[in-house]
Amino acid sequence: MLFPSWAFLLFLAVLVPVYYLVPKRIQWIVLLLANAVFVCFAGFLGAVFMAVTIVTVYAASRAIDALFVRQRETIAAMKATHTKEERKAARLRFEKKRRLVLIVCLILNFGILFALKYGAMLGRLSAGLFGGKPFGQDLALTMGISFYTFSTVGYLLDVYRESVPAEKNPLKLALFTSFFPLLVQGPITRWETVGKTLTEPHAFDGRRFLSASLRIAWGYWKKLIVADRLLVAVKALCARPGVYRGDFIFVEMLLYAACLYADFTGGIDITIGVGEMLGVSIEENFLRPYFSKSISEYWRRWHITLGEWFKRYVYYPLSVSKPMRALSKGTRRLGVGVSRRVPVYLATLLVWALTGAWHGSNLTFLVWGLLNGVVILLSEELKPLYARFHARFPRLTESAFYRGFTVIRTVLLLSSLRILDCYGTVRDAFSSFFSMFTTWNWGAVFRGGIQSLGLSYFDYAVAFSGVLVMFALSLVQRKGAIRKRILKRGTVCSVCVLLVLIGTILIFGRYGFGFDASQFIYNRF
């Protein structure tokens, strides 16, 4: 069920009244049933995989919790009769058992994700090497599996770390795993924040409903007016790497940057708005990312929940792990600077390789991830140089001009890296990128070139105006939440804004007969 579909709007129109009309204690059951409908609508196989995740994570979390309880009881009983070393040995035995349960569950859940993401690619690789018919060509990601696997496994890891107690009711864990707005394109949520509020009773609040409607409408506005329009041109440019070169690639970079922003943030706006409508707070996934002054800062502001997940469950554990510390000590003879950098460098590169792999099985994603890691490490190493530059030219570096320069530099850098996302092979991506410096064809771009991409000048004008509106609102948002300010002006004003948003979507949006509503770009990850 696509967000931009009548079926979804109907689904919401039925769910919201029912949700608030039933007794509050069974609200979460209604939500669970709605999730089941949404998941089954997306396909039977997806429902099966999700059920496997729920059952295995529930069983593993309960087993880990039980092992903690037994450990405490055993150690307490041993206190008077056993030595400290014996108690430590007993604790280690329990730790070993917990780790085993965790590893089995991780292998199973990530195994499913891996098989669906990489099965087809491995099949082709195997056929290429050994001949025969490639296996696994029907394997494809099921609805939301990349997102709910990470969220639910995150919960299990938190139980393993004793950060949260294991949930006793399997249906509540099922509700967290299957919460329908999160299945389209995340964000990756935490049990501690979203999981708990899902099962709490929620009373209807007219002001919250209006606020949520504004957020949802704004999400659709970005998706249907800007993203779906620009996506047509981006797809046309990416489809013919041998034809569109030189300055077309620069145009492609900018169009894709705007398109991806409108698409992903638009989808998350709808997700968070739907959550808000049901009284559930969902984590923000963006903080005006295109205003970042460096790539590291950008990654703290774009797809925040994925970055946080990797940081919390991979980067830090890996950096402080025994093998990493041993490696760090082992390299001390190469100098203190090298040995201290070993954990940071290896963990950073591994996390970025995994981030690339999370996005897809294509080699382009892996290269994209690693290049991001390299750029981040390079900027860290250049920090002393930047500091000297700032100290030498304080007036320049504190000026609005310089801040603007760093923002534009970051957008261009991240857009250059994203070219890898647009093509099927690394070779095409690099060849297209470098053609910007070897082929000068602005004339062709503006002599009907951009009109050959499936959009009319009217489309470009609408999309460009949409981008300007998004940019202006982001500037205003720096001084505080815009919705709060609109709502402060009263219900009439808020309803008027909502009607303007809906009206402009109806006039300028790409939808209806003859138009193929597209899924969100991040849904394919």
Partner 1 sequence: MEKLLDILRELHPETDFETETRLVDGGILASFDVVMLITRIEEEFGVVIPAKEIVPKNFNSAAALFALITRIGEQDD
Query: Which residues would be at the binding site for partner 1 (CB under 8 A)?
Result: 161-163, 296-297, 300, 311, 315-317, 319-321, 325, 328, 340, 343-344, 347-348, 376, 380
Closer of 383 and 485 to partner 1 (Cβ) = 383
**Among 239, 271, 292, which Cα is nearest to 424's?**
239
Least distance (Å) between residue 342 CB and partner 1: 9
Between 158 and 228, CB nearer to partner 1:
158
What number of CA atoms fall less than 13 Å from residue 176's CA on the CB side?
Answer: 31
**Quick one: which of 136, 55, 67 has its CA closest to 98?**
67
Smallest distance, Å, CB 161 to partner 1?
A: 4
| CB closer to partner 1, 136 vs 317 | 317
Q: Given the complex with partner 1, which of 172 and 341 has the nearer CB atom? A: 341
Three-class SS state of 130: helix
End-to-end Cα distance, the chain:
17
d(C-alpha 333, C-alpha 341), whole Å: 13
Distant-in-sequence contacts of 454-460, Cβ < 8 A, 24+ apart:
454/232, 454/233, 454/235, 454/236, 455/229, 455/230, 455/232, 455/233, 459/229, 459/232
CB half-sphere exposure, 180, CA atoms < 13 A: 23
Residue 22 corresponds to which amino acid? V
Q: Among residues 294 and 523, whose Cβ is nearest to partner 1? A: 294
Q: How far is CA 139 from the centre of its chain?
A: 22
- Quote the least distance from Cβ 420 to partner 1, whole Å: 23
Instruction: Show the DSSP H helices in 278-362 as ranges.
Output: 295-301, 304-310, 316-319, 322-330, 336-359
Q: Which is nearer to partner 1, 50 or 347 (CB)?
A: 347
Q: Could you tell me which of 306, 330, 310 has the C-alpha nearest to residue 318?
A: 310
Contacts of residue 438, defined as CB under 8 A and 6 or more positions apart, other chains included, come to: 246
Question: From the CB of residue 484, how many other CB atoms can be counted at a distance below 10 Å?
Answer: 9
Cβ closest to partner 1, residue 86 vs residue 381 = 381
Task: Return the number of the residue (97 or 235) whose C-beta is nearest partner 1.
Answer: 97
Instruction: Give 315 or 423: the residue with its C-beta nearer to partner 1.
Output: 315
Which residues lie below 8 Å from residue 199, measured CB to CB, with a gap of 6+?
Answer: 28, 172, 175
- Smallest Cα–Cα separation from 355: which of 500, 525, 219? 525
- Complex with partner 1: residue 231 or 306, whichever CB lies closer: 306
Distance CA 430, CA 300 (A): 26
> Could you count the other beta carbons within 10 Å of the beta carbon of residue 491?
11
Q: Which is closer to partner 1, CB of 343 or CB of 369?
A: 343
Smallest gap from residue 318 Cβ to partner 1 (A): 8
| Rounded least distance, CB 395 to partner 1, Å | 18
Residue type, 114: F
Residue 123: partners with Cβ closer than 8 Å, 6 or more residues away: 134, 135, 136, 137, 139
